[in-house]
Amino acid sequence: MSIGLSGCDFLKMLDLTPRQIRGLVKLSARLKAMKKAGEPHRFLEGKNIVLLFEKTSTRTRSSFEVAGRDLGMGVVCMDEGSSQMGTKESIADTARVLCRMYDGIEYRGYGQELVEELAEYSSVPVWNGLTTESHPTQMIADLLTIQENFPGGFEGLKLVFMGDAQNNVANSLMVTCAKMGMHFVACGPAEQMPMPSLVEKARMIAVETGGSVTLTPSVEEACTGADIIYTDIWVSMGEPFEIWGERIRLLSPYQVNAQAMAYAKPEAIFLHCLPSYHDAKTKVGAQILEQFGIAEMEVTDAVFESAQSKVFDQAENRMHSIKAIMYATLASDK
Ligand code: CP
Ligand code: NVA
């Protein structure tokens, strides 16, 4: 099966057709099965990739590193501060140097325009490992996880995103659901809703696919009949700590808790891209507990640990899906 992404960048979900997205999910499932069966798949032997991280990461970095090695590639990782990029060398120059040495470049950082510029000046595929506006590699893992739980197909499934509905993950989910013919609901306060221009684009896509995009402040309306309830942290990387007080005030009514899950279908699943503040066992979590008196934020510990929660399958699927993205963009189309 040719996905038609050979030599292409992977920058945002708007760039992909529904067929390409389905192809990536199918390829992810195949590569996952091969890994589980212990079947070698060093399809990209001899190639080299570089991973640029201007923001921290556990899953995305591990996924690119393990997937790259499983595919037979050499993998180099550069953290913030360990390269010249941004301080002594522009994005354009960095791109023109790195593409002379590597076959693919991953970038995690701030504005979407940075990864787009990197791609413009690079002659090899560039993969967006998260920007302030989008998180496209996360989407293929999420769809794989959804498919594993709802094998009947994506069309018609209702996915509710609770909380900070204007962050990178929410933006990408809205577009992804629209492309897959799913019903996307953003549930949160008016202050944290996705940008109207992106909502409009997603709605236009949904008209074609039979999906829909709804914005609502009502948890009951949003979660009733939901198949998937999804949330993310209330303050994203790059936002100042001082914003926590305001976000807690705005977003506390949108915590995923037993009541929200009770509105959903009995077979509904809970997803979260992670990391998550479901308890106070982290430095930031402990600081928030001390300052604001709350230990559970976007999701309660009970929901996070429940049988409906598929967050660790989802985290594992990051690796299989990033492998598929690299394979589809680096291998020649058959
Ligand atoms: N979900 C996700 O991107 O996790 P990391 O920030 O750990 O990469
Ligand atoms: N919205 C989160 C996602 C982390 C994977 C952030 O940008 O920090």
As a whole number, mean pLDDT of residues 36-55 equals 98
As a whole number, mean pLDDT of residues 165-191 equals 98
Active site residue 232: yes
Name the band, by pLDDT with cuts 50, 70 and 90, for residue 175. Answer: very high
| % pLDDT > 70, the chain | 99
Active site residue 259: no
User: CB of 145 closer than 6 A to ligand 1?
Assistant: no
Please determine, for residue 52, whether its predicted confidence score (pLDDT) is greater than 60: yes
Characterize the bridge pairing of strands 126-128 and 104-108: parallel
Half-sphere exposure of 61 (CA within 13 A, CB side): 13
As a whole number, mean pLDDT of residues 166-188 equals 98
What ligand 2 atom has the least distance to the C-alpha of 274?
A: 5
Q: Which of 59, 70, 138, 227 is catalytic?
A: 138
Ligand that comes closest to the CA of residue 233? 2
- Tell me the average pLDDT of the chain: 97
The tens digit of pLDDT for each residue in 98-117 reads 999 999 999 999 999 999 99
- Tell me what pLDDT residue 82 has: 84
Of 34 and 80, the one with more pLDDT: 34
Name the band, by pLDDT with cuts 50, 70 and 90, for residue 233. Answer: very high
Please determine, for residue 325, whether its predicted confidence score (pLDDT) is greater than 80: yes
**Shortest CA distance to 193 belongs to which of 168, 172, 215, 218?**
215
- Tell me what pLDDT residue 2 has: 85
As a whole number, mean pLDDT of residues 285-289 equals 96
Contact between 282 and 253 (Cβ < 8 Å): no
User: CB of 237 closer than 6 A to ligand 1?
Assistant: no
As a whole number, mean pLDDT of residues 281-298 equals 96
Ligand that comes closest to the CA of residue 132? 2
Name the band, by pLDDT with cuts 50, 70 and 90, for residue 254. Answer: very high
Q: Which of 22, 59, 61, 108 is catalytic?
A: 108
- Tell me what pLDDT residue 1 has: 60
Characterize the bridge pairing of strands 48-53 and 212-216: unpaired
Ligand that comes closest to the CA of residue 60? 1
Name the band, by pLDDT with cuts 50, 70 and 90, for residue 61. Answer: very high
As a whole number, mean pLDDT of residues 310-327 equals 98
Active site residue 19: no
CA distance 125 to 135: 17
- Tell me what pLDDT residue 46 has: 97
- Tell me what pLDDT residue 321 has: 98
User: CB of 294 closer than 6 A to ligand 1?
Assistant: no
- Tell me what pLDDT residue 273 has: 98
User: CB of 57 closer than 6 A to ligand 2?
Assistant: no
Please determine, for residue 334, whether its predicted confidence score (pLDDT) is greater than 70: no
The tens digit of pLDDT for each residue in 154-165 reads 999 999 999 999
- Tell me what pLDDT residue 310 has: 99
**Shortest CA distance to 179 belongs to which of 322, 17, 11?**
17
Please determine, for residue 177, whether its predicted confidence score (pLDDT) is greater than 70: yes
Q: Which two tokens stand for residue 274?
A: 């992670």
